[in-house]
Amino acid sequence: GDSVTQMEGPVTLSEEAFLTINCTYTATGYPSLFWYVQYPGEGLQLLLKATKADDKGSNKGFEATYRKETTSFHLEKGSVQVSDSAVYFCARSSTGNQFYFGTGTSLTVIP
């Protein structure tokens, strides 16, 4: 929804290139922040999360740092692989019960 804005895709990179997918959020309070990944034909899988300011989430070479001052949670990877081709979703928790998701960024990595 409007609460999470992420970089529009599609993004196409060569193998071993550096990846950044931008994500910013609007929220009252201090939400938890997440990156989910969706591989073709599969459901959303949690990639990483951060629960408070300055936390860094990391997994499978991906990293994202919770920046309260810029309300951002940008996803980065130093060297992408073909197997990283997927759709990436930034999300935040709410004071209610739901997660708010961005619109997703499609990544294609070519050999």
The answer to whether 26 contacts other proteins (rule: CB under 8 A) is no
Phi, psi of 80 (to 5 degrees): -80, 155
The answer to whether 41 contacts other proteins (rule: CB under 8 A) is yes
Sign of the Cα torsion 68, 31, 61, 111 reads negative
The answer to whether 57 contacts other proteins (rule: CB under 8 A) is no
The answer to whether 62 contacts other proteins (rule: CB under 8 A) is no
The answer to whether 1 contacts other proteins (rule: CB under 8 A) is yes
Q: To which residue do tokens 């969706």 refer?
A: 38
In the complex, least distance from residue 110 CB atom to other proteins, rounded to whole angstroms: 22
Closest CA to 33 of 87, 91, 98: 91
Q: What is the dihedral of CA 5, 6, 9, 12, to 10 degrees?
A: 170
The answer to whether 77 contacts other proteins (rule: CB under 8 A) is no
Q: Given the rule CB under 8 A, which of 12-20, 55-63, 69-77, 88-96 is the region that contacts other proteins? A: 88-96
